[in-house]
Structure formats: C-alpha cells, structure tokens
Amino acid sequence: MALVNEHFLKLPGNYLFADVARKVAAFKSAHKNASVISLGTGDVTRPLAPAVVEALHKAADEMGREESFRGYGPEQGYQFLREAIIKNDYLPRGIHLDINEVFINDGAKSDTGNIQELIRWDNSIGVTDPIYPVYLDSNSMIGRSGVKDDHDRWSNVVYFPCTAENGFIPAIPDRRVDVVYLCYPNNPTGTVLTKDELRKWVNYALRNDVLIFFDAAYEAYIQHPDIPHSIYEIRGARKCAIEFRSYSKTAGFTGLRCGYTIVPEEVSAATIEGERIYLNPLWFRRQSTKFNGTSYLSQRAAEAIYTPEGKAQVRDTINYYMQNAAMMLERFRTLGYEVYGGENAPYIWMKTPHGAPSWKVFNDLLNRAHVVCTPGSGFGPSGEGYVRFTAFGSHANTEEALKRIERWF
Amino acid sequence: MALVNEHFLKLPGNYLFADVARKVAAFKSAHKNASVISLGTGDVTRPLAPAVVEALHKAADEMGREESFRGYGPEQGYQFLREAIIKNDYLPRGIHLDINEVFINDGAKSDTGNIQELIRWDNSIGVTDPIYPVYLDSNSMIGRSGVKDDHDRWSNVVYFPCTAENGFIPAIPDRRVDVVYLCYPNNPTGTVLTKDELRKWVNYALRNDVLIFFDAAYEAYIQHPDIPHSIYEIRGARKCAIEFRSYSKTAGFTGLRCGYTIVPEEVSAATIEGERIYLNPLWFRRQSTKFNGTSYLSQRAAEAIYTPEGKAQVRDTINYYMQNAAMMLERFRTLGYEVYGGENAPYIWMKTPHGAPSWKVFNDLLNRAHVVCTPGSGFGPSGEGYVRFTAFGSHANTEEALKRIERWF
C-alpha cells in the first residue's frame, strides 16, 4: 500500500508567496477597478539588459543550426560560465576557487531547498528568524524540523531572533546546532552583517563542526565597502560553508532561471563513526542524478552580464532599484514609521504601527491603499509585528504606492 | 556536529552517464587522432525546429522591453503551455485533464527524481529491470532502496526482469510493492507495452493500492497505432498513476530544459491511519517550495511545437532519427546480432556476442571501432549481457559507426 510522506501534512498549507498571491487575486476579482501595486514578492520588473538579450538571440540561433546545436550540457554547468564566475565574482575579492567548486543551477531556490539532502535527516538546524521560508519548509518536508508547537516553532529548529531590539544581529547559539542557514544581505529584513560579525559565525562553525549554508542572493545590492559579498572573504569559511548566488536579483533573471552554488573541496560532514566525508563529490552526485543543467540560453545570458557592457547595464538597474529603496526609507521615516534595511539590500523591513499583527497590516494596506506588502510573520515568529516592502517596482509605481500609504494608512 | 546523509555512500560512485563520459574522455585524451562516434547517451543532435527558434527570439525580445518583461512565472508553469498540452497531447486521445493537473518542469529527470519525496521513506518500490538509473538512485539517496547485495541488487527494491527470454514483458509481481516505476516506450530496451499489457498493471495497482510512476518521455517515437501514448488511455489510471513527459526527445530540448508531469486530482496515498491524501496539492506544495518554474523562453519554445509548422518540423526530426533506428536494426540483424527495440523508440538493445559482459563490449567497441554505446549492466542486473545504442546521431555518423562495427567487431 502506497503510504504518503506524512511530513508534508505538518507544513503550513501554502508556500508563503502562493498564499499572498491567492489573497491578492481574490481582492482583485472583488474589486475590478482597483489598480493594485505590488511591493510584495521580491520580483524584479525592469527588462533584461541589452547585452543579455543579445546573448539570448545569439544562443537561440546557435541552437537552430546543426553545426552549433547543443544538447545536454554538463549537469554542473558550462565551463565558460563557471570560469566567468571565478574570474569576476571571486578573484577580485582575493578568493580562489577551483572550477569543480562551482555548480550552475536554475536559481537559488532550488539549491537552497535541495542542499539539505546531503545531511542526515535528524541533524538539527539553526536559522536566523525571520527567514526565507524555503530553508525551513524544505527541511520540514523530510521531517528534519520536527513538529510545530502552538507558537509556530519547529521542535528541531533553533531560532536566532533578529529584531529591532538586537539591531538585527543574530546571537551565536548557546546550544547544539548542526547546520546553520544565514542569508546576507538578509531577506526579509534587508539588513547586513559586517565582516567582524560574519567572522564570529565562521569561527563558531569551525569550533563546533557546524555547516553553514550561506545565501548571498542579494550581494549585488551591497553599497558599503566593509560588508562582505562572500562568506569566503572570511578565513576558514572554505572548510565549513556552502554559498548560494543568484542572477535573479542581480540581473533580472527571475524568468530566465540561472544561479550558482559554491561547494568548496574542503567542506565536509562526518559519518556516525566520525569519518569525514567531503560534500563536493556528493553534491555532484546529487546534481548529476536529479538535475540536467539549466538552459543553455540562460547560461549564455548569464555569461553576458560579465562583459563590460553587461556589467554597466546591470549596475544601472541595481541603482534604479536602490533609488526606490532610498525614496521609501526617506518617506517612511518622514511619516514616522520605523524602517530597517534598504541600504545594502532591495528590502525595507517596517515595524507595524502600534505593534499590529502583520497579516492585519497586509489586509489593511491591500484594502485601503491597494498596495501589496509581505506579512512579516510569514517569515517566522520574530517576523510578527513587521511587514516587508520591496524596491523592485518602477519609480512611478513606488512613488504612487507611497502616496497612497501616506493618504490612507 | 554536522552529519552526512550516509545513504549517499551506498550509491555507486558515479551516475552511469557521468561514468561513461569520463571513460570516453580518458580514451580521447589518449588517442588524440581518433574520431569517436557516440551512440551512447540518449542525447539529440538535430538542431531546434525553426518554429522553436522563432519563439525563442520573440520571447527574448519580450523580456528586453519594459512593457512585456516577465519575472517569476507560476511555479507550475504558464497557462498558455498547460492549455496547449491538454488540447494537443491528451484531448485527441480522449483524455480530459484539468489545468491544475499539469505541472511544467525543467525536464523529466528532475521530476522523476523528485516525485519520490511524496511517499514514505520506507515504502517499497518495484522497477522493471533494466531501468533508467535516476529512479533507483533518487530513492537510494533517501534510504528507501535499502542496501545493495553482492549482485548489485537493492534490498528494498523488487525487480521485474525484462529480457529476451520473456519478450521484455515484465511479470506482475507476486509480493508486496508500494510504488512501481514504469517507462514506456522503454529506456533502455526500446521495447513497448500494448494496451492490454499496460491494463494489467493499472488493474494490479488499483487492486493493491499501488502507485505507478509512469515515464512516457519517448511517447513521440511510437509508430504503431495500438501502443498507448499515455497511461491515462487505460481506465482507472487517474486513480493510481502519475505521468512524466519531456520535450527533450520529442523536440530536441535537451539543452533548453522543459517537460511536464501530470498529477491527476484523484491520485492519492494513505497515512498510517488509513486516511487518503491527494497527491496533487502535495506536489504543488513541493514544487512551489523547491522550484521556481522553468525559463519563460523554454516554455514559449515548447508552446511553438504545438503550432502546425512546429508539429510538422518536430515530426520530420523524429522521422529522421527513426530512419537511423531502422538502418541500425536492419544492419545489426544482417550481421547476425540479436537486437530489440528501435521500432517505437529511439533505442536499440543488443544482446552482447557470446554473452560477453556489457562493460567489456563497451570497452572493445570504444577501443576497436571508436564507437560509444552504453553498457546494459549500468541499467540494472538484467541489463548485463546487453548494450544500448541510440538512434540520435546524424545519418552519416550512424552509417559510419555501423561500418566500423562491421569491420572491427
């Protein structure tokens, strides 16, 4: 008799953003004339850079000719892209990677969701709270998170609260944790860690044989020179950290699907008997078994953002979004709201007025101002009492949303 | 302390095709002047159809303009493609699907690897033998296959041998199996099941509460009218079967990445307490958590193969490959080899001369004829004593490979 994986039944019914999308769709169908502005899901809106579009055309033509057609690519990605990554994203920061440490994927969501397959089902995990829901949901699906208590906390998860009270700096844990997820610049709070703060985590991991899964999907938004772009800027991180990058936010690839994961050759985990097992070949085995590479066109498109034109065009788009972020921060503060992030990340994290529940503010904003935000409680217990706004809108829409919030809220 | 998922350590070191690729690369580097012809990996070689290339260009332009740019698509795929699938691949065969039953993916490898996440870790699985390695490898990674014995058999897997002796018709099992993987037209043997044979499996599944994972990645190669293209042509299959389709072999999308999975609303599995749980919402939850859709360009490209021009162009390419298959069958038989498949599938399954081991024949072919095949034993115990050839080469290469085999082997 086929039995279901009952761990699925312990999950919240919907993935957070699917939930938000459903509520917005319901509102729209009941209010046909309302013009709803979304500052909710972290999805980009600016078109692809011309250098990227040109690369897509060129690759499409190649695929249409017998002599240049390409079938299956290497599961870990094409060499041309892996070399461009090493040369442009790491070498300038003094980080030396071997090409076998770079795995191209179809976006960071897949790999941050799949990476937990490499560790034992009963390892405990630690997460900053609030957090991108994929980390916990993917662990819960295999039963690693345990069960949820009445306060929406998983029994086998250690939460590191990040709130206004501690300046959004997670405290090093005082109890056993096997694997830690860190995301910096942070989604959803938009806050960052300095090199000194990040070093504390790497040292903690090295001392306690902890693995760090480091999600750097937003590194392109870092403005201040003292904020690390990669965890490998910290000495020792090659022994304990796996890093995830994405072109989704960097270059507007949410619809193209391309990102990458770095699994250093030194990073390892133990067997029960204490033998060290390197994770790089395990990840290669995982990827070559369950993944067939991302589209050749998307990989050529990603390569194009490393050309001089591509770099300039991508930088312009990031600056465009960061102008939104600056405008939002300034206006929200003028209106008396407590807001965080938005300086090295495309997210603004707002304390709800008078500590109102996140979903109430989400509903009020949608109903009164026809503006969509993301309720902070969807990101974990410490997200309650906050909502997230993204800077990914157009200038006009962002401006209009701010006006409506000023008027109606 | 981070502990490794030790189930990975029980796996054969390499994914079969990675292993073959490595051996071929080693041979090439030792024999710089050898012109090696690959009839090994099932990868297509004909260029994309003009209708597909045109759709790629159009989509690339759309993504470069602000007014038509698209970010994240729905995780389960765009409506335009899901509707085209229902209308073109199923309705003409009398199969009615709801749009929510169609999930677009980045290729059948991902979904046939991931689908096992929906069932309990200790469910037993049954597979035709030989078989596409992804099914067993993906189950082994979570420990569901048990441990391997001295004869390379997994302890928690029931094997249904398919050999020349039983005409490659798997016998209905006589012991407990919870989940069955079927792939028809079959990879690697190239053989098919008639409607009557497939009906026996559906009835067995319905009687015993068994789930069937049905991989129909090669259905476009079916030539005979009495061979089912979809398991849903069989009454009752909607209650017990999930079907996988791919554009990789249908339309040369191995480098573009697009396929789909059908999860009917009626298909369910039980909890330990006997409650029925529908798998469709669980699969949606899985996909929306760990997947962000496949490239918009790839989805538009897939849509284009359903236009009249697209259909004709894709049909031409399939005919081209099937001419190779016919040529190979004819020539191999003339040479006195025992060969199977190749009539409704792009694979030829050859009995090794004098029962030689598969890997020996692989090595001999590579060293003497500079032709790559895939050793049958890589597909499971009953694959020993066979090798697989694919029809995906060019006419010229296939012809040349046959000449060399005739001369040297």
Nearest-CA distance from A293 to chain B in Å? Answer: 8
pLDDT band at residue A103 under the 50/70/90 scheme: very high
Query: Residue B113's closest chain A neighbor by CA?
Result: A290
Residue numbers in A near B394 (CB within 8 A): 66
Please report the pLDDT score of residue A4 as a whole number: 97
CB-based contact A212:A242 (threshold 8 Å) = yes
Non-local CB neighbours of A55 within 8 Å, separated by 6+ positions: A300, A301, A303, A304
The CATH-assigned architecture of domain A6-47+309-408 is Alpha-Beta Complex (3.90)
Nearest-CA distance from B73 to chain A in Å? Answer: 6
Residue numbers in B near A135 (CB within 8 A): none
Distance CA A191, CA A343 (A): 8
pLDDT band at residue A213 under the 50/70/90 scheme: very high
Mean pLDDT of chain B: 96
Query: Residue B112's closest chain A neighbor by CA?
Result: A290
Percentage of chain B beyond pLDDT 70 is 100
pLDDT band at residue A175 under the 50/70/90 scheme: confident
Please judge whether B296 and A50 are an interchain contact, meaning their C-beta atoms are less than 8 angstroms apart. Answer: no
Question: What is the arithmetic mean of pLDDT over A194-208?
Answer: 97
Radius of gyration of chain B, Cα coordinates, nearest whole angstrom: 21
Structure tokens at B119: 């069932």
Nearest-CA distance from B244 to chain A in Å? Answer: 14
Q: Which is nearest to B304 in space by CA: B256, B265, B342, B340?
A: B256
Measured between CB atoms, which of B57, B138, B209 is closest to A60?
A: B57
A86-100, B3-17, B271-285, B286-300: which has the minimum mean pLDDT? B3-17
pLDDT band at residue B252 under the 50/70/90 scheme: very high
Burial class, A153, CB count within 10 angstroms (exposed 0-12 / middle 13-18 / buried 19+) = middle
Mean pLDDT of chain A: 96
Question: What is the arithmetic mean of pLDDT over B180-208?
Answer: 98
Task: Give the 3-state secondary structure of residue A202.
Answer: helix
Mutate to test the interface with B, among A72, A261, A305, A392 (most CBs of B within 10 A): A72
Please judge whether B72 and A208 are an interchain contact, meaning their C-beta atoms are less than 8 angstroms apart. Answer: no
Q: How do the domains of chain B map onto residue ranges?
A: 6-47+309-408, 56-304
Residue numbers in A near B256 (CB within 8 A): 63, 295-297
Please report the pLDDT score of residue A2 as a whole number: 95
Please judge whether A270 and B121 are an interchain contact, meaning their C-beta atoms are less than 8 angstroms apart. Answer: no
Distance CA A221, CA B97 (A): 44
Please judge whether B3 and A109 are an interchain contact, meaning their C-beta atoms are less than 8 angstroms apart. Answer: no
Measured between CB atoms, which of B11, B141, B288 is closest to A117?
A: B141
Measured between CB atoms, which of A2, A52, A107 is closest to B178?
A: A2
Please judge whether B3 and A178 are an interchain contact, meaning their C-beta atoms are less than 8 angstroms apart. Answer: yes
Q: What is the pLDDT of residues B331-375, one digit of tens each?
A: 999 999 999 999 999 999 999 999 999 999 999 999 999 999 999
CB-based contact B365:B405 (threshold 8 Å) = yes
pLDDT band at residue A150 under the 50/70/90 scheme: confident
Q: What is the pLDDT of residues A324-339, one digit of tens each?
A: 999 999 999 999 999 9
Please judge whether B47 and A60 are an interchain contact, meaning their C-beta atoms are less than 8 angstroms apart. Answer: no
Q: Are strands B386-390 and B347-351 parallel, antiparallel or unpaired?
A: antiparallel
Structure tokens at A24: 């917005």
Q: CB atoms < 10 A from the CB of A397, how many?
A: 17
Domain A56-304 has CATH 3.40.50.740: no
Decide if pLDDT at B152 tops 90.
no
Measured between CB atoms, which of A9, A18, A45 is closest to B69?
A: A45
Nearest-CA distance from B346 to chain A in Å? Answer: 16
Please report the pLDDT score of residue B238 as a whole number: 98
Stated as kind and residue range, the H or E segment containing B225 is none
Stated as kind and residue range, the H or E segment containing B183 is strand B179-183
Residue numbers in B near A132 (CB within 8 A): none
Task: Give the 3-state secondary structure of residue B149.
Answer: coil
Decide if pLDDT at A408 tops 90.
no
Question: What is the arithmetic mean of pLDDT over B3-8?
Answer: 96
A19-28, A349-358, B114-123: which has the minimum mean pLDDT? A19-28
Distance CA B297, CA B315 (A): 22
Please judge whether A61 and B53 are an interchain contact, meaning their C-beta atoms are less than 8 angstroms apart. Answer: yes
Decide if pLDDT at B158 tops 80.
yes
Please judge whether B2 and A178 are an interchain contact, meaning their C-beta atoms are less than 8 angstroms apart. Answer: yes
Q: What is the pLDDT of residues B213-225, one digit of tens each?
A: 999 999 999 999 9
pLDDT band at residue B35 under the 50/70/90 scheme: very high
Please report the pLDDT score of residue B14 as a whole number: 72
Please judge whether A123 and B2 are an interchain contact, meaning their C-beta atoms are less than 8 angstroms apart. Answer: yes
Residue numbers in A near B123 (CB within 8 A): 2-3
Decide if pLDDT at B173 tops 80.
yes
Q: Which is nearest to B205 in space by CA: B171, B253, B241, B233?
A: B241
Residue numbers in B near A66 (CB within 8 A): 45-47, 394
Domains A6-47+309-408 and A56-304 in one fold: no
pLDDT band at residue A235 under the 50/70/90 scheme: very high
Query: Residue A204's closest chain B neighbor by CA?
Result: B1
Nearest-CA distance from A21 to chain B in Å? Answer: 10
Please report the pLDDT score of residue A17 as a whole number: 82
Question: What is the arithmetic mean of pLDDT over A296-322?
Answer: 98
Residue numbers in B near A288 (CB within 8 A): 14-15, 17-18
Q: Which residue has the tokens 């969509």?
A: A372
Please report the pLDDT score of residue B16 as a whole number: 84
Decide if pLDDT at B176 tops 80.
yes
> How many residue pairs bridge chain A and chain B with CB atoms within 8 Å of each other?
284
Please judge whether B53 and A63 are an interchain contact, meaning their C-beta atoms are less than 8 angstroms apart. Answer: yes
Q: At what angle do helices B296-304 and A296-304 cross, to 10 degrees?
A: 140
End-to-end CA distance of chain A: 55
Residue numbers in B near A72 (CB within 8 A): 41, 43, 254-255
Nearest-CA distance from A336 to chain B in Å? Answer: 33
pLDDT band at residue A143 under the 50/70/90 scheme: very high
Please report the pLDDT score of residue B80 as a whole number: 98
Please judge whether A119 and B279 are an interchain contact, meaning their C-beta atoms are less than 8 angstroms apart. Answer: no
Measured between CB atoms, which of A18, A118, A292 is closest to B5?
A: A118
Decide if pLDDT at A13 tops 80.
no
Mutate to test the interface with B, among A292, A299, A395 (most CBs of B within 10 A): A292
Measured between CB atoms, which of A18, A288, A296 is closest to B15?
A: A288
Please report the pLDDT score of residue A41 as a whole number: 83
List the beta strands (DSSP E) in A184-229.
Answer: 211-215
Decide if pLDDT at B79 tops 90.
yes
Please judge whether B48 and A61 are an interchain contact, meaning their C-beta atoms are less than 8 angstroms apart. Answer: no
Please judge whether A53 and B60 are an interchain contact, meaning their C-beta atoms are less than 8 angstroms apart. Answer: yes
Residue numbers in A near B124 (CB within 8 A): none
Decide if pLDDT at B180 tops 80.
yes
